A and B are shown apart, each in its own frame.
Chain A
Amino acid sequence: MLDLFIGNISSAISHEILMISTENKELASRYKKERDNLIVISEKYRHNINPISDILPDKDIEYIKSKVKNKIKSELSSRIKKGYKNINLNIIEELIEKYLRAVKVI
């Protein structure tokens, strides 16, 4: 369950960073319904990870953050290597915080 949770959060953040980096970001963000689905699915998984009603222990938070960060970096780095420009890797940590807070992990 934890792996699925990490997979979804990583995918949602990679998607957001790629979206911000396109010249058509206004258009890319227009139809939010499908993208919000990833958050809804992540929330479902979160409800199966203990402690359900409290934030996770520091050790687990660090583990999740590091796994999510690696997954996002790998997804985006392959594109940067191919020549993608304007992908801002500096916002990864800020977005991880935002998303984990949204699904009450931290």
Chain B
Amino acid sequence: MSLSDLILSLADNKQMLGLRYAEWATRAPSLEADIAAAAMGLDDLGHSRVLYGCLEPLGADPRGLDRESDAASLHALTYFDEPWSEWAQFVAANAILDTAFTAMIEACVGGSVEVLQHRLRKMLMEERYHFLHGRSWLKSGISQEPLNRAWVEAIEWFGPPDGDVATLHREGKLSMGPDELHSRLEEQLATRSPSMTIDWKSWDPIRRRSRPGAIDERTFSMLRGLEEKKFAPSSAAAKEN
């Protein structure tokens, strides 16, 4: 897979992370946490726009027409397929997945590709606050299930030891490969990942995940603007038609 495929996956995941964060903007445990959820959602949606904008300068935009009709054409992780029903899912995504994406951004900024070096640097400053938020909530103690799931999906997302990320690292385009990214994530969170066995044979290198499935229909409609049309006045809808 190319660097463009990796950046598209990062963009799709940031977009979904931002949307899922935003869904908690009125459901978090405190007013401050509500505001933080909204702010982090805005940040990550903004990051996804920047990342999509990097695809053209990278020379190959892997986005096909199927993204308008097939939710499974988006390259986001299983973790984002459904809205989160528990705060623990929010915290696990915030602490582990958001930090994993930041580690990849660090690898891009530290790599040799100029457009990524320049455009992604500011994200690291904003992500510092996401990290502090996630780490602090993690300390408060949450259930293990979403944490384990987030860890597995993060390591899967980094890719196999001999996969595309390893190749991009060897070529100097990324400053870290899968092993270094894994270590960086553990170092940041000051903990070891749970023991896991990943069956790379069932791993989809485009979507960077092992399980089939896709984001829920309502979210997919919202991404395409279809949910918005439901609220449009009928006369306006008639004019459009």
A binds B: no
